[in-house]
Amino acid sequence: MRIYLVGSMGSGKSTLAKKMALRLNMEFIDLDKMIEAKAGRSVNDIFAIEGEDKFRELEHDCLRETLLHDQAVIATGGGTPCYFENMEFINSNGISVYIKLNPGILTSRLMEAKSPRPLLKQLSGKDEIKKRIEELLAEREHYYLQSRLIVEGENIKAETIIKMIQESEGIG
């Protein structure tokens, strides 16, 4: 079984995926880390040096490589579902879970992030960041909403998501 967590940057996909993988005794895959390993540079550097198009190609290739992992919880990037029919791929090859959060919470989380996200790098101030997050959600939520499960992300626990998956899939 593969579980793909999708949603906006700052929604907690990596943190939740790591906890879920541990509790389910499955492999944890952070798609961005996989891309960085393949490219030999950070996501920020890929965006800065080679551009978003190159990043999306690498992302597409790495997403396909998740098929080599039968028992994994995969944290995707915020834009992953929106390119190259990736959402269709995700739904065909695993259980998709949309971690849904409102722009206000996402803004607060991203303002406190240790490293700036490539799509927010040139912005300054809370209002600019919130406006950009609202724009990205408007563009991307159509894809996120194609997920098999949609969970409200504020204060969500890995155990709650696991239970929802088990119930929806009729497992244990």
Measured CA to CA, the distance from residue 30 to residue 166 in angstroms comes to: 22
Beta strands in 31-148 (DSSP E): 72-75, 95-100
Q: Is residue 43 in a domain?
A: yes
What pLDDT score does 114 carry? 62
Supply φ then ψ for residue 164, to 5 degrees: -65, -40
Q: Is residue 95 in a domain?
A: yes
Q: Is residue 172 in a domain?
A: no
**Span 63-72, pLDDT tens digits:** 999 999 999 9
Q: Is residue 158 in a domain?
A: yes
Q: Report the CATH number at residue 68.
A: 3.40.50.300
Question: Residue 98's domain spans which residues?
Answer: 2-162
Q: Is residue 170 in a domain?
A: no
Beta strands in the chain (DSSP E): 2-6, 27-30, 72-75, 95-100, 149-152
What pLDDT score does 119 carry? 67
Q: Is residue 126 in a domain?
A: yes
Q: Is residue 48 in a domain?
A: yes
What pLDDT score does 122 carry? 76
Supply φ then ψ for residue 41, to 5 degrees: -155, 165
- How many structural domains compose the chain? 1
pTM, two decimal places: 0.94
Low-confidence ranges of the chain (pLDDT < 50): none
User: Which DSSP state fits 148?
Assistant: S
